[in-house]
Amino acid sequence: MPSESVTTPTSSPVNVPASSRRSRRSFSWFLLILANIAWASSYVAAKIVLRETSVIMMNALRMGTATLLLLPLLFMQRTRFKLTWRDLPQLALLAVVGFVINKVFEYEGLSLTTASDVALLITSESIFTATLSWLLLRERFKLLTMLALLLGFGGVYLIIERSIVPNIPAGGGALRILGDVLVVLALTFEAFYTVRGKALLVKHSPLLVTSAAITGSMVFWIPLASWQFIALGWHPLSLLGWLGIGWLAVMSTVIAYLAWFQGLANVDGSAAASTLFIQPLLGTVLAIVILHEQLSPMTIVGGLLIVASVYLISR
């Protein structure tokens, strides 16, 4: 989920009855919660799909299906989406960084680690975004922000290491650590996507920019998937695998982004940020219930530190 979305300003209807405003606001909260439920479930869905196919093929099918659903939206909104020639390189960069490189690292990491680790780590995206905003954009930096970042990075460390003292556990633990590191690396690219995309998002709707970036990513996913198809052949997916692809494309991509940005129309971004905590909570619960994953005490402590850090940053 692009974290720049939580800063999107809300619109205030003029001369709208109070009951109607309350109804719209309640529905907007429902949409925000729905979006985070869809994102939280994506880690388990992807873990199931990756049992049957590769990261490249899964992302190509996911983004391809999402593109077919988003193209009508882009066509209908084409008059509002007035990109200049100077915007196109920036949009191409967002597509490559946010929906190609980021997704490769994120799901390659997920294939090696647990869905619960990813659900907890993904919350730290705001931590990396705040860090890059400070380093690259020279945004105002407070002492409380520094303490929150240190708290968050400590949580990330505990989830990866699962101990205070660095160690490489036996029995496949090294691969899990590598997976967690790849997820963290993916989050840095996601944060870079957010920071670099700020200029474009000031001029254009975040939903339209995101939809265009997803569609534009197919320029890379089609050749990658074609190369893999020619080199390795096609391995048919089971019904469960196709359902997972459908969930990732329809719910976790199209519906989630539409619901999120529509919900922000009537809810302040700072208030909407509170719904982001649904992701680590529900994502972890789903991983335990559906995939029968186990949480270590240090993983729980690390997750709590990240949640506390993100809360302080959002404040």
139 band by pLDDT with thresholds 50, 70 and 90: low
Taking only the tens place, the pLDDT of each residue in 194-249 is 777 777 767 777 788 888 889 999 999 999 999 999 998 888 999 999 999 999 99
Q: Would residue 233 be called left, alpha or beta, if left means φ above 0 and alpha means ψ between -120 and 50 degrees? A: left
The Cα–Cα gap between 7 and 295 comes to: 33
Q: How many other C-beta atoms can be found within 10 angstroms of the C-beta atom of residue 216?
A: 19
Q: Average pLDDT over the chain, rounded to whole? A: 82
Q: How many other C-beta atoms can be found within 10 angstroms of the C-beta atom of residue 20?
A: 10
User: Two tokens at 254?
Assistant: 């199209």
* SS3 of residue 2 by DSSP: coil
Q: Which pLDDT score, from 0 to 100, does residue 9 have?
A: 47
141 band by pLDDT with thresholds 50, 70 and 90: low
Taking only the tens place, the pLDDT of each residue in 37-72 is 999 999 999 999 999 999 999 999 999 999 999 998
4 band by pLDDT with thresholds 50, 70 and 90: very low
Task: Report the predicted TM-score, pTM, of the whole model to 2 decimal places.
Answer: 0.81
Q: State CA 118 to chain mean position distance.
A: 11
Of 51-60, 131-140, 185-194, which gets the smallest average pLDDT? Answer: 131-140
250 burial level (CB within 10 Å; 0-12, 13-18, 19+): middle
| CA nearest to 5, candidates 279, 301, 259, 278 | 259
Residue 5 has pLDDT above 50, yes or no: no
Q: Which pLDDT score, from 0 to 100, does residue 109 have?
A: 93
The highest-confidence range among 73-82, 84-93, 124-133, 191-200, by mean pLDDT, is 84-93
User: Two tokens at 247?
Assistant: 């969930």
* SS3 of residue 60 by DSSP: helix
Question: Across residues 126-136, what is the average pLDDT?
Answer: 74
What H or E segment, with its residue span, contains residue 277?
A: none
Quick one: angle between helices 18-49 and 239-246, nearest 10?
140
* SS3 of residue 170 by DSSP: coil
Q: Which pLDDT score, from 0 to 100, does residue 19 have?
A: 67
The Cα–Cα gap between 284 and 278 comes to: 10
Beta-sheet strands, E only, within the chain: none
111 contact partners, CB below 8 Å, separation of at least 6: 47, 50, 55, 179
Taking only the tens place, the pLDDT of each residue in 272-283 is 766 777 888 888
Q: What angle do CA 202, 149, 154 make, to 5 degrees?
A: 140
Taking only the tens place, the pLDDT of each residue in 81-103 is 777 778 888 888 889 998 999 99
* SS3 of residue 50 by DSSP: coil
Taking only the tens place, the pLDDT of each residue in 157-178 is 888 777 776 666 555 678 888 9
The residue behind tokens 């993916």 is 186
Looking at this protein, which amino acid is placed at residue 268? D
Residue 10 has pLDDT above 80, yes or no: no
The Cα–Cα gap between 306 and 310 comes to: 6
Q: What angle do CA 301, 304, 310 make, to 5 degrees?
A: 145
Q: What angle do CA 149, 7, 107 make, to 5 degrees?
A: 65
The more confidently predicted of residues 59 and 299 is 59
